[in-house]
Amino acid sequence: MKTIIEPFRIKMTEPLKITTREEREDALIRANYNVFTIDAENCALDLLTDSGTGAMSTEQWAAMMLGDESYAGSRSWKRFESTIWDITGIDNIFPTHQGRAAEAILAECILQPGDIVPNNSHFDTTRANIQYRGCTALDLPCPEAYDTAKESPFKGNMDINQLHRCIEEHGPEKIPFCMITVTNNTGGGQPVSMANIKAVRKVLDIYKIPLIIDACRFSENAYFIHEREKGYQDRSLLSIAQEMFSLADGATMSCKKDGLANIGGFLVCRNNEWAERFRNLLILREGFPTYGGLAGRDQEAIAVGLREGLEYDYQVYRHATVEYMAQRLVKIGVPLVLPAGGHAVFLDAKKMVPHIDSLDYPGIGVVNALYLAGGIRAVELGSVMFGRRDDEGQEHPSPLELVRLAFPRRVYTQSHFDYMIEVIDEVWQHRNEIPGYRITQQPKLLRHFTCHLEPKG
């Protein structure tokens, strides 16, 4: 088989600043050893997130020039609405400025304090919006989700038995809706099978509980179903996506992921009574129902981007980049989460630097080593982000210490990936020199963004 090439060529370039090791050491110290606070221009390969960091196509830029900025009922809204309707088949469509705005409207309109919302794994903004309403966000991932080394095709699935038990225990009246996140971002970007979504639907039907899809990466999920699930090999990604949404009563979406746009989101639902409530709150929080939180030109870019995300050749290329890095790292011996997810490679820092205790933050050690060695910005998903303090101030580590290398869409070329692999290899060879860290200053909430750190010893 020949090399899978990028199915695009470059028409406009954005320079990357090539820094020296000394410059990076200096930048890291000035950032108090927290890469979140390093200026982006000093991160040549920025793998902090795949959200809103993608490159738009010529078609998207051209569509932006057609943006109709009329306050109500613009042509851009019509294109946005009809595209989302084609994909989801869901009638009530609300544009929002991001995914979290859609989640906030859903939570505020539908949840009462004390309610419970199950999900395969909640994304952090979804969890926060549910908790902000005084409710419980419950994660029910399948058991293999916790085994980082186990190769299994759909590690993003929900645990159906646990879902059943949860409803029996709390009662359906406490569960206004159930969610399923495709792909499962918090669980490593792992896919959810159609069979699992159907099984969830079947359980929910018994109790008449609506199903809401957190659809941020629905096209990547459709691609995995196409590749891995029996009976889907001859189907288009669009028709697979349509089948997924046909099983749902609604969806929230961040168009910064599979919308291939730099900003935007939407909320959709079938229930007209819910829609009435959403519409009223949308006007209050975001904007008039036909633009919500978006400019007409953004709606145009999203309408085109949603379709491009469902192009098979694009998904083949995207998955090839993730697999390329994962397979090369496996060959070198670097421990990572397998199989690789849809939008990122996750290094297993606990196994990479076993000499660093969890509460000395092995993930931070690896993240900072990657930055120093090659200007790569990654993110820790471990005890700094998820660690928990009990009432006595005692800190408890996260069960996993991962480092996420998220892949922006259509941004980096194969030589960038080759370079990243070389840098990771160098860090791996010198892993025994990586120090642990201590936190010297931290805010009360979401400390990973702004805390100050310092190397130990």
Residue nearest ligand PLP, Cβ-based: 99
* Residue bearing tokens 């359980």: 203
Task: Return phi, psi of residue 116, to 5°.
Answer: -125, 135
Q: Which two tokens stand for residue 298?
A: 């953004």
Shortest approach of ligand PLP to residue 403 CB, angstroms? 18
Distance CA 350, CA 33 (A): 19
Between the alpha carbon of residue 164 and those of residues 153, 167, 170, the distances in Å are 23, 5, 10
Shortest approach of ligand PLP to residue 216 CB, angstroms? 4
Of the candidate residues 79, 100, 319, 377, the single one contacting ligand PLP (CB under 6 A): 100
Nearer to ligand PLP, 27 or 306 (CB): 306
The angle subtended at Cα 116 by Cα 114 and Cα 122, nearest 5°, is 130
Contact between 214 and ligand PLP by CB under 6 A: the answer reads yes
Shortest approach of ligand PLP to residue 129 CB, angstroms? 9
Shortest approach of ligand PLP to residue 125 CB, angstroms? 5
Give the torsion sign (CA, 148, 151, 153, 158).
negative
- DSSP string spanning 28-40? HHHTTT-GGGS-G
Contact between 223 and ligand PLP by CB under 6 A: the answer reads no
Nearer to ligand PLP, 51 or 321 (CB): 51
Give the residue among 275, 254, 255 at the shortest CA–CA distance from 106: 275
Nearer to ligand PLP, 74 or 125 (CB): 125
Distance CA 252, CA 211 (A): 11
Q: Measured in whole angstroms, how far is the alpha carbon of residue 308 from the centre of its chain?
A: 18
Q: Which two tokens stand for residue 289?
A: 């129902």
Burial of 12 (0-12, 13-18, 19+ CB in 10 A): exposed
Shortest approach of ligand PLP to residue 100 CB, angstroms? 3
Q: With CB under 6 A as the contact rule, which of the stretches 97-105, 196-204, 307-315, 403-411 interacts with ligand PLP? A: 97-105
Contact between 407 and ligand PLP by CB under 6 A: the answer reads no
Nearer to ligand PLP, 185 or 299 (CB): 185
Distance CA 319, CA 315 (A): 6
Of the candidate residues 216, 222, 369, 403, the single one contacting ligand PLP (CB under 6 A): 216
Distance CA 328, CA 315 (A): 20
Contact between 133 and ligand PLP by CB under 6 A: the answer reads no
Distance CA 89, CA 94 (A): 14
Of the candidate residues 54, 67, 95, 99, the single one contacting ligand PLP (CB under 6 A): 99
Nearer to ligand PLP, 301 or 424 (CB): 301
Contact between 123 and ligand PLP by CB under 6 A: the answer reads yes
Nearer to ligand PLP, 250 or 362 (CB): 250
Shortest approach of ligand PLP to residue 155 CB, angstroms? 15
* Residue bearing tokens 């009809």: 82
Nearer to ligand PLP, 257 or 328 (CB): 257
Reported as half-sphere exposure (CB side, CA atoms, 13 A), residue 287 has a value of 18
Give the residue among 370, 322, 35, 379 at the shortest CA–CA distance from 189: 322
Contact between 219 and ligand PLP by CB under 6 A: the answer reads no
Contact between 129 and ligand PLP by CB under 6 A: the answer reads no
Of the candidate residues 34, 42, 126, 315, the single one contacting ligand PLP (CB under 6 A): 126
Nearer to ligand PLP, 184 or 315 (CB): 184
Q: Are 303 and 85 in contact (CB under 8 A)?
A: no
Contact between 265 and ligand PLP by CB under 6 A: the answer reads yes
Contact between 241 and ligand PLP by CB under 6 A: the answer reads no
Q: Using the 8-state DSSP alphabet, how is residue 16 labeled?
A: P
Give the torsion through C-alpha atoms of 372, 377, 380, 381, to 10 deg.
Answer: -160
Q: With CB under 6 A as the contact rule, which of the stretches 119-127, 273-281, 359-367, 393-401 interacts with ligand PLP? A: 119-127
Of the candidate residues 53, 88, 254, 358, the single one contacting ligand PLP (CB under 6 A): 254
Distance CA 44, CA 57 (A): 22
Nearer to ligand PLP, 216 or 427 (CB): 216
At residue 69, what is the residue type?
A: E
Nearer to ligand PLP, 97 or 431 (CB): 97
- Under rule CB under 6 A, which residues in 180-199 are in contact with ligand PLP? 181, 185
**Site residues (vs ligand PLP, CB under 6 A):** 51, 98-100, 123, 125-126, 181, 185, 214, 216, 254, 256-257, 265
